[in-house]
Structure 1
């Protein structure tokens, strides 16, 4: 299932570049379905994530769909038996029915739900108390809003760093100038049927940025600027996949050409491409992207970092670890 702009899906109808599906109001006590993708290889983290989701106090009810991508459903069922027993009828475990990878797993979960709202939670992240109620209140305060997020607390090793957005609304301009790490997939809450992840994202890279950006093009995201999700960076399946990250950024530039029109946003992307190429030992490509970054914005901080990696002054993983300790990425 590829839900790129201009395509059609049997469940949603025509898809536009600005967003999918008709705008409908959120009920007073909406039902919420939560999609938790997993590979089944980190059972303790998955159990913690499920218990945190099920522990949310919400009168409309919370249903959970755990989608297994690349693992075995029976294995995951055994891993989450405690959560299933604690919440009879509220937790289902399904195999990914669409494209292998994270976007397909998310779409499998969305398609299996019939709730008013859909939320995402990665299997290594934790929802904190009050997350759902605060976001539902934010959606209710802006009847035109279809999509909500919240600030995060980044956990890396023994360090925890709060990342705030500094706003109650996230616009497409915000997401063009910056990736905004605090607009994280585990914070997403949106009206079911309004939007779907794009399965053409290479290795699932940047599908969450793309999703939030497409939603913001329709209407600013309602945002609760309090850390209500703990994001655990140490367990990410995407750490250090440099080639995938390069493909994901090039995909975003091709899919959203206007990203290159904002000097700050373009320089950030070009600087990241320089760094990722440097991490792969591609000095010439790293230098080419570094020049483009400097041309877009003199003083882009990723450029000297990328050049230091390209020249062997510092290993890429040391840079990433140092940034993660501060709750930041490259």
Structure 2
């Protein structure tokens, strides 16, 4: 008997086309177990999102009702679909916890409203999770989409450790790939502006038990519509929060230099030249081959705009 799975899709409600794509990709999964889907509206109009969700699921549930309070609650062939307001702290972390609290399933899965699951995603991950004794958390490889470019990002392993996540953020261990046992973990809502809450969750999960990883791209991650990409001050606060919360991030030279280089870049993007220089020097002295240090200095010197750097990296399926 397959484990029941609950899927949490947080949304502000401002990108209905992407939400439609995400929701359909979840409902189109062929999975033998019971599935619940909860769309959590964070700050947007719940009734508007509820009507939109009802339209999306109407082909399989033509009489789908909704209300502005708890919104859609419809038993479809694909599973139960509900729309709820965020009842916890504002932001994606609170929205995800709202969804987790509302589920009655054995497993929890996340899908961002601008991403999409590929066919077979849920079944492949649950099979891998249940095949390893004591496993609690499973991720998978991704395909990054930016403009007309599609770049697969693989981990090269079926086993992700806490050390791996300290050495590298491991982009493929992405929130839209997460599937884990309900009750084992919650999202930390103290993350500033919900920055790095997904990295923190994966790192905490890996400290409990190694993460099972299906190294096949089963999630399509769409870049270019993120609410967070250029919120430099929030990204700085998120990295400082991670360093304070997980001191081991400053131990591995490669991982520490990467974070210092990111801090240098974000400060440079804000025009904080001295702070950018200090973090770039720290990155360089921690690991001389850290490429973000000279990039941050070039941005700080106004030789190249931060946005141009990000566009170039995103075209290659990379981030800063």
Aligned partner of 1:72 in structure 2 is: 45
- What is the total number of aligned residue pairs between the two structures? 303
Match of 2:12 among 33, 36, 39: 39
Aligned partner of 1:272 in structure 2 is: 262
Matches of 2:297 and 2:31, distance apart in 1: 50
Alignment of structure 1 residues 147-162 onto 2, 5 Å:
147-162=137-152
Runs of 5+ consecutive residues of structure 1 not aligned to the other structure = 1-27
Aligned partner of 1:257 in structure 2 is: 247
SS at match of 2:224: helix
Matches of 1:311 and 1:55, distance apart in 2: 49
Which string of whole-angstrom CA distances, capped at 9 and with x for unpartnered residues, describes residues 61-96 of structure 1? 211000000101101011112333325321100000
Aligned partner of 1:195 in structure 2 is: 185
Matches of 2:4 and 2:23, distance apart in 1: 17
SS at match of 1:251: helix
Alignment of structure 1 residues 162-173 onto 2, 5 Å:
162-173=152-163
Instruction: Work out whether 1:299 is the aligned partner of 2:272.
Output: no
- Range moving further from structure 2, 260-269 or 74-83: 74-83
Aligned partner of 1:117 in structure 2 is: 107
Matches of 1:178 and 1:146, distance apart in 2: 21
Structure 1 stretches of 4+ with a deviation exceeding 6 A read none
Task: Report the TM-score, using the length of structure 1 for normalisation.
Answer: 0.91
Which string of whole-angstrom CA distances, capped at 9 and with x for unpartnered residues, describes residues 260-290 of structure 1? 0110000000000000000000000000001
SS at match of 1:313: coil
Task: Report the TM-score, using the length of structure 2 for normalisation.
Answer: 0.94
Matches of 2:308 and 2:52, distance apart in 1: 34
Alignment of structure 1 residues 1-330 onto 2, 5 Å:
28-85=1-58, 86-87=60-61, 88-89=74-75, 90-330=80-320
Matches of 1:32 and 1:55, distance apart in 2: 14
SS at match of 1:235: coil
Which string of whole-angstrom CA distances, capped at 9 and with x for unpartnered residues, describes residues 192-227 of structure 1? 010000000000000000000000001110100000
Aligned partner of 1:14 in structure 2 is: none
- Range moving further from structure 2, 288-297 or 271-280: 288-297
Matches of 2:118 and 2:57, distance apart in 1: 20
Matches of 1:82 and 1:34, distance apart in 2: 19
Which string of whole-angstrom CA distances, capped at 9 and with x for unpartnered residues, describes residues 40-81 of structure 1? 000011011101101111111211000000101101011112
SS at match of 2:204: helix
- Range moving further from structure 2, 111-120 or 80-89: 80-89
Which string of whole-angstrom CA distances, capped at 9 and with x for unpartnered residues, describes residues 240-272 of structure 1? 110000000000000001100110000000000
Matches of 1:218 and 1:239, distance apart in 2: 30
SS at match of 2:307: helix
Matches of 1:227 and 1:59, distance apart in 2: 21
- RMSD of aligned alpha carbons: 0.8
**How far did 1:325 drift?**
0.4
Matches of 1:284 and 1:207, distance apart in 2: 28
Matches of 1:81 and 1:41, distance apart in 2: 16
Matches of 2:97 and 2:29, distance apart in 1: 23
Runs of 5+ consecutive residues of structure 2 not aligned to the other structure = 62-73
